[in-house]
Amino acid sequence: MSEGLDDVVAARTVLSEVDGQAGRLVIRGWTLDQLVGRTRFEEVVRLLFDGFFEDLPEDLTAALGAARAEVFSAVGAIDDRLLDLEPVEAMRALTARLPDGDDLATALRLLAAPAVFTPAILRLQAGDSPVAPDPSLGHSADILRMLHARPAAAGQAEALDAYLVTVCDHGLNASTFAARVVASTRAGLTSAVLAGISALKGPLHGGAPGPVIEMLDAIGKPANARPWIEAALARGDRLMGFGHRIYRVRDPRADALKGAVRRLADQSSSLPGRIAFAEAVEAAALAILKAHRPDRPLDVNVEFFTALLLEALAFPPNAFTAVFAMGRTAGWLAHAREQLAGGRLIRPQSVYVGPTPLKAA
Ligand code: ACO
């Protein structure tokens, strides 16, 4: 038995490879560095979907734009009870209303769902009206326009593209495994994506970047970093944005996102200071974690600089997980189709350690 399934290989995939010793991520034959900053989200969706869906258009921009317009019709059904939920929970509830299916149209609706529902939910929660999608725009530019009700500023759509590409797929992580388990029962792509969203929202997975902002805000200034972190570890807390199941070195996605947030810094007077502060916290955390756990390499993970980048794009921290889902849905869908194409029903076994039935008298 393997608690946490650390050493279990449960799928063959052509989609991505995570090399935890070298700190390298390969997505369908491309390293992360080759993709980030050079590839739009639509292009990476095409890369992941290639061979898994029939009739895949060469350029997915128009098809994805049409899917955004289609799913926007569900925004009218958002009511006050839905708005009381956290954004990722409200987004998941709206996504659950989409029909199940295994075709490209279903997949495009599922890619569009977090991109359209999240800005609409955030605007309604803030007392503003939702903004309808503009199908002629690129996916990232339209997400930012739907959120802020104005065209994305220079560099912002590119920064969001860099983020969505960075998180689009990552081996057999917890949410992708959940999506593959559901796909293996042939329940359909909507069910598989809902399983993915549900696994993603936990703080040990895609729910970490919001708490990273809380940590930075609680630390407040570089001089507080060391005592704050030491006190947190002494309480037995985990530092959000650090540690990983697979990486024993720095998560390569952290530097991809650090690069993206630095490129945005030219247009903002406050961002360079925020980056410098985050780097000071990161340096203190790494030094303290090394002394705290000399046996266990604990380095920075994707979530630390996710937090900084999404904050710079003015997403509220409670929506960061829903934004993560905008990118990772591409990976879940490709994995679900791959599972359907070749995989068997996923059904592991358990060891019974409960009471033995009493013998009949
Ligand atoms: N801060 C402090 N201690 C840590 C941290 C951390 N961030 N991460 C791991 N540890 C400690 C654990 O407490 C554990 O100590 P123990 O052996 O005394 O119990 C030891 O290191 C090993 O940890 P595991 O839980 O076995 O490691 P696992 O591989 O299960 O955890 C995880 C990986 C969940 C990411 C963990 O590092 C963590 O909780 N990090 C903080 C949350 C976070 O950043 N999540 C985002 C991950 S990236 C992603 O999913 C997109």
214, 215, 250, 298: residue to mutate for ligand 1 pocket, most atoms within 8 A of CB: 298
Domain, as residue range, for 286: 209-312
Give the residues surrounding ligand 1 with Cβ less than 6 Å away: 4, 204-206, 208, 238-245, 293, 296, 298, 301-303
pLDDT at 310: 97
Assign 27 to helix, strand or coil.
Answer: strand
Same domain, residue pair 114 and 237: no
Region at 242 (left for phi over 0; alpha for psi -120 to 50; beta for the rest): beta
Annotated active-site residue 303? The verdict is yes
Specify if 298 maps to a domain: yes
Q: Judging by beta carbons within 10 Å of its beta carbon (0-12, 13-18, 19+), is residue 22 exposed, middle or buried? A: exposed
Please identify every stretch of the chain with a pLDDT value under 70, giving residue numbers as ranges: 361
Query: How many other CB atoms are found less than 10 A from the CB of residue 249?
Result: 14
What's phi and psi for 126, nearest 5 deg?
-90, 0
| Structural contact between residues 200 and 357, judged by C-beta atoms closer than 8 angstroms | no
Q: What is the arrangement of strands in the sheet containing 24-27, beginning at the earlier edge strand?
A: 16-19, 24-27, 30-31
| pLDDT reported for residue 204 | 93
Q: Which pLDDT score, from 0 to 100, does residue 59 have?
A: 82
Active-site choice (42, 158, 282, 303)? 303
Radius of gyration of the chain (CA): 21
**pLDDT in the model for residue 58:** 84
CATH of the domain at 283: 1.10.230.10
Q: How many separate domains does the chain show?
A: 2
Question: What is the 3-state secondary structure of 281-342?
Answer: HHHHHHHHHHHHCCCCCCCECHHHHHHHHHHHCCCCHHHHHHHHHHHHHHHHHHHHHHHHHH
Asked if 188 and 232 sit in the same domain, the reply is no
Residues 140 and 177 both lie in one domain: yes
Same domain, 65 and 190: yes
To 5 degrees, how large is the angle CA 141–CA 118–CA 68?
55
189 and 261 in a single domain? The answer is: no
Give residue-wise pLDDT tens across range 61-86.
Answer: 999 999 999 999 999 999 999 999 99
Residues 248 and 326 in one domain: no
Backbone angles phi, psi at 39, to 5 degrees: -125, 135
Does residue 16 sit within a domain? Answer: no
pLDDT at 361: 66
Q: Are residues 175 and 57 in the same domain?
A: yes
Residue at 81 is within a domain? yes
Among this protein's residues, is 244 annotated catalytic? yes
Res 267: pLDDT: 80
Q: Mutation test of ligand 1: which of 18, 163, 166, 204 has the most ligand atoms closer than 8 Å to its C-beta?
A: 204
Whether 42 is covered by a domain: the verdict is yes
Ligand 1 atom closest to Cα of 212? Answer: 44
Distance of alpha carbon 181 from alpha carbon 194, whole angstroms: 12
Same domain, 143 and 39: yes
Active-site hit among 148, 244, 311, 338 = 244
Q: Measure 244 CA to ligand 1 centroid, in angstroms.
A: 6
Q: Are 190 and 225 contained in the same domain?
A: no
Report if residue 11 sits inside a domain.
Answer: no
Longest dimension (CA), the chain: 81
